[in-house]
């Protein structure tokens, strides 16, 4: 039964949303920020049903800061806040200089290994070289503090057939929990598609953003059909999306889906694609972490709103 509230008489001329706004005195949509008390949106890994927070963290460049005192303090504060806000997926690679070691050392110092979902990659050719590199990554990230590595991915599909054979053995032996492949460019989508169709993958990591949309032509649908989790890299197009909107205010209608910043606009657009499991913006800036995790709080745009968002960016 609907109880007519006191004070404001809803009229046929007021929309339900407007009536609610008048009743509550709140803006049309309330922006909810990430806080330790606010659960983040989580999405299931299709292979297992395990839930992952939908915003993670990329470490390329951002965590390649061994020996740099000021940057290490920043990275530590960023990782600490990331874990405190309930996020978990952190992506690295032996290609990212000292990032794996910095991540491992900081996570150990903060005592957060158990709370993180650690993903790294293999980026070399040959079976023995791959095994050596993967063992080195696991040691550098101090994975023993949490159990098996969560996710090992073949970076840019380098010698994928060889490494995936090793990784199927490792997975069967409980040395890694999930296996995947990555790329960052649409030129490799045909090869990625072949890898997905070949089977045996739990994850695919690819670029997808308002600046790089081609993955939704085929790949995202294929991943969903094949029940493969999707990690989105370059979700902010390497930061170039911010150049595109410089000097442009966030449109007022972004508040309708709880969006309070351009970063959240870009990330919520990605998360609103149903095939996406997690996006991993790269940063060691604590404020950016808070901002980015806000995209995994509250509403997401529907399909019509996503089209409006894309058209808005195209018109800038």
Ligand X SMILES: NC(=O)c1ccc[n+]([C@@H]2O[C@H](COP(=O)([O-])OP(=O)(O)OC[C@H]3O[C@@H](n4cnc5c(N)ncnc54)[C@H](OP(=O)(O)O)[C@@H]3O)[C@@H](O)[C@H]2O)c1
Q: Report d(CA 202, CA 92) in Å as an integer.
A: 17
Least distance between ligand X and beta carbon 99 (Å):
8
**Counting beta carbons within 10 angstroms of the beta carbon of residue 21, is it exposed (0 to 12), middle (13 to 18) or buried (19 or more)?**
middle
State both tokens at 32.
């909810």
Least distance between ligand X and beta carbon 9 (Å):
43
Show Cβ contacts of residue 215 under 8 Å, excluding neighbours closer than 6 positions. Answer: 186, 189, 206, 207, 208
- Near ligand X by CB under 6 A: residue from 120, 137, 166, 283: 283
- Near ligand X by CB under 6 A: residue from 46, 130, 180, 282: 282
Stretch that binds ligand X, among 39-47, 67-75, 212-220, 287-295 (CB under 6 A): 287-295
For position 281 contacting ligand X by CB under 6 A, the verdict is yes
Contact 195, 201 (CB under 8 A): yes
For residues 41-60, which are near ligand X according to CB under 6 A?
A: 58-60
Nearest alpha carbon to residue 131 among 94, 92, 91: 94
- Binding map of ligand X across residues 239-258, x = CB under 6 A, - = no contact: x--x----------------
Q: Report d(CA 201, CA 179) in Å as an integer.
A: 6
Least distance between ligand X and beta carbon 161 (Å):
18
- Binding map of ligand X across residues 220-239, x = CB under 6 A, - = no contact: -------------xxxxxxx
Kindly tell me which of 97 and 238 has the beta carbon lying closer to ligand X: 238
Instruction: Measure the N-to-C terminal CA separation of the chain; round to a whole number of Å.
Output: 47
How are strands ordered across the β-sheet holding 57-58?
A: 57-58, 89-91, 117-122, 149-154, 176-182, 203-207, 229-233, 278-279
Nearest alpha carbon to residue 271 among 38, 32, 41: 41
Q: Report d(CA 226, CA 231) in Å as an integer.
A: 15
Least distance between ligand X and beta carbon 158 (Å):
10
Torsion from C-alpha of 215, 184, 163, 108, nearest 10 degrees:
-120
Count other Cβ atoms within 10 Å, centred on residue 173: 9
Kindly tell me which of 10 and 238 has the beta carbon lying closer to ligand X: 238
- Near ligand X by CB under 6 A: residue from 102, 263, 278, 297: 263
- Near ligand X by CB under 6 A: residue from 285, 286, 299, 308: 285
For residues 74-113, which are near ligand X according to CB under 6 A?
A: 91
Kindly tell me which of 60 and 82 has the beta carbon lying closer to ligand X: 60
For residues 141-200, which are near ligand X according to CB under 6 A?
A: 155-156, 182-184
Stretch that binds ligand X, among 157-165, 195-203, 277-285, 297-305 (CB under 6 A): 277-285
Least distance between ligand X and beta carbon 232 (Å):
8
Q: Report d(CA 124, CA 155) in Å as an integer.
A: 8
- Near ligand X by CB under 6 A: residue from 162, 288, 300, 301: 288
Least distance between ligand X and beta carbon 186 (Å):
12
State both tokens at 257.
């889906």
Using the structure block, give the residue that is written with the tokens 């790089």: 212
Give, in order, the Cα–Cα distances in Å from 181 to each of 156, 232, 300, 313: 7, 12, 27, 30
Kindly tell me which of 73 and 303 has the beta carbon lying closer to ligand X: 73
Number of residues that bind ligand X (CB under 6 A): 28
Stretch that binds ligand X, among 15-23, 251-259, 288-296, 299-307 (CB under 6 A): 288-296
Q: Binding residues for ligand X, per CB under 6 A? A: 58-60, 62, 91, 155-156, 182-184, 205, 233-239, 242, 263, 280-283, 285, 288, 291-292
């Amino acid at each position: 039964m609907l109880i007519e509230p006191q004070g404001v008489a809803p009229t046929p001329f007021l929309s339900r949303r407007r009536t609610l706004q008048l009743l509550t005195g709140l803006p049309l949509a309330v922006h909810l920020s990430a806080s330790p008390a606010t659960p983040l949106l989580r999405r299931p890994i299709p292979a297992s049903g395990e839930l992952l927070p939908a915003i993670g963290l990329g470490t390329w460049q951002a965590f390649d800061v061994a020996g740099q005192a000021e940057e290490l303090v920043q990275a530590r504060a960023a990782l600490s806040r990331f874990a405190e806000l309930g996020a978990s997926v952190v992506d690295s690679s032996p290609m990212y200089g000292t990032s794996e070691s910095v991540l491992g050392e900081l996570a150990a110092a903060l005592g957060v290994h158990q709370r993180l979902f650690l993903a790294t990659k293999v980026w070399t050719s040959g079976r023995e070289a791959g095994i050596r590199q993967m063992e080195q990554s696991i040691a550098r990230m101090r994975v023993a503090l949490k159990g098996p590595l969560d996710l090992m991915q073949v970076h840019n599909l380098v010698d994928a057939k060889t490494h995936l054979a090793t990784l199927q053995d490792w997975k069967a032996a409980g040395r890694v929990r999930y296996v995947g492949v990555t790329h960052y460019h649409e030129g490799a989508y045909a090869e990625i598609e072949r890898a997905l169709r070949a089977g045996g993958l739990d994850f695919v990591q690819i670029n997808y953003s308002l600046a790089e949309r081609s993955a939704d032509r085929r790949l995202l649908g294929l991943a969903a059909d094949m029940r493969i989790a999707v990690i989105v890299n370059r979700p902010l197009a390497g930061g170039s999306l911010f150049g595109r909107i410089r000097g442009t205010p966030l449109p007022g209608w972004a508040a309708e889906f709880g969006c309070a910043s351009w970063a959240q606009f870009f990330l919520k657009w990605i998360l609103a694609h149903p095939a996406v499991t997690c996006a991993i913006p790269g940063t060691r800036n604590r404020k950016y972490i808070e901002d980015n995790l806000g995209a995994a709080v509250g509403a997401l745009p529907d399909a019509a709103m996503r089209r409006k968002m894309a058209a808005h960016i195209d018109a800038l």
